[in-house]
Amino acid sequence: MPISVPGQAAQMTSQMAGFGMTGQSAPPLAQAISTALIPFVNTATISTSDVGTVGAGAGNIAVGITAPQLVVSTALVAVMRSEFIGAGLVGQFAPSLASAISIAFTTHMALGVVLSQHPGVGTGVAVGGFVGLISTQLQQQILAAMSGLSLAGQSASALAGAVANAIVNFLNTIVFTIPIIGPSGASPASSVGTGRVV
């Protein structure tokens, strides 16, 4: 099941409510973060090192299977809370908001699928992770989405930066293991593949 902005926003709104954040700005905030986050992840490149037999294969595997660490929200919660504190976001609801965003993100990402291409290896295994993620780019996307929903308070930039830094730092720790399936010969081969999460 592909990840989506509506799905992420619904998950985040639900998590916020579960932490007692039911004010009128909660759903728009969830929508703004999701509007920036999902396209950022969808367009992020995964680079892999491939080993197997010669050919040209592809990968298609659920995120929750290939990267189980991604669905352990406690790891992201710790990173997110640290980023909140570093950004001066230490109000009463800051720990709850950090937890809600983290749990919602990891829960929704587990529903995603890694699609990959492996020229040079037809059958084998690919191991890799995200490359080229830039937290300031995600921060600007979150700020733009927040501004578009009239969420431009004095803490907006700090919040967008904390969320972006936490998400990018966390994604950079993820290691994907992807089975490569496709037509192949008998000769051993190694190559480099690319993929993305949908």
pTM listed for this prediction: 0.94
72 pLDDT tier (thresholds 50, 70, 90): low
The 10s digit of each residue's pLDDT in 126-166 is: 999 999 999 999 999 999 999 999 998 889 999 999 999 99
Q: What distance in Å separates the CA atoms of residue 198 and residue 196, rounded to the nearest whole number?
A: 7
Q: CA dist 102 to 15, 45, 55, 130, 138, Å?
A: 9, 21, 39, 18, 15
The 10s digit of each residue's pLDDT in 9-44 is: 999 999 999 999 999 999 999 999 999 999 999 999
Nearest to 127 by CA among 68, 47, 42: 47
SS3 145: helix
Q: Which domain holds residue 126?
A: 5-197
Per the structure, how many domains does the chain have?
A: 1
Statement: residue 63 has pLDDT above 70 = yes
Q: What distance in Å separates the CA atoms of residue 157 and residue 183, rounded to the nearest whole number?
A: 49
The predicted structure's pLDDT at residue 94: 96
69 pLDDT tier (thresholds 50, 70, 90): low
